[in-house]
Amino acid sequence: LEKTLSNVMDFTRPTKYIKDFNSINEVVEDTLDLLKNMLLEKKIEVDVSLNSELPLIKSDFNQLKQVMLNLLQNAMDSITDEGKIIIKTEIEDDFIILSIADNGTGIEHNDPNVIFEPFYTTKVTGVGIGLAIVKKIIKDHNGDIEVKKGAVAGVKFIIKLPLPA
């Protein structure tokens, strides 16, 4: 109960970001390093394709790491067996694109964006605040996030963060 209340308070409280120039690729690598044992334990294959030409962007490293943690943990929770997660960074127009796709159970709801609503959850132990926090962090970084249902299974999250001016 305390953890749930803490998450709700974190979501509603204005956040002070510590913005420095950071590498999105480092955020990805750092998060994967943190989760490597869990990924190995669940036998989930991770295919990573990071564009080495990405510029640094003004961002809060820990907040973006929280985004990665939430998205990767959700992906791991949705994968039953022979799972795969694909992570890719690239530059498109004036944006850095970070995509995270999995072959998990996917989203049953007709409107996949419902998952960003606070307190929407399909998990027995979930509160439904994780993806709402993800969306808030990305918006606070002047970015955008969208979710698409996979063609066969799973979901794909696409995060767009503006390139530095």
Q: What is the pLDDT of residues 70-115, one digit of tens each?
A: 999 999 988 987 789 999 999 999 999 999 999 988 777 666 667 7
Reading the block at residue 59, the tokens are 């961002």
Read off the pLDDT of each residue in 132-143 and give the average, rounded to a whole number: 92
Question: Rounded distance, CA 34 to CA 28, Å?
Answer: 10
pLDDT tier for residue 18 given thresholds of 50, 70 and 90: confident
Owner of token pair 């964006």: 113
Q: Over 70: is that where the pLDDT of 2 sits?
A: no
Distance CA 60, CA 19 (A): 5
Task: Round the CA-based radius of gyration of the chain to a whole number and report it.
Answer: 15
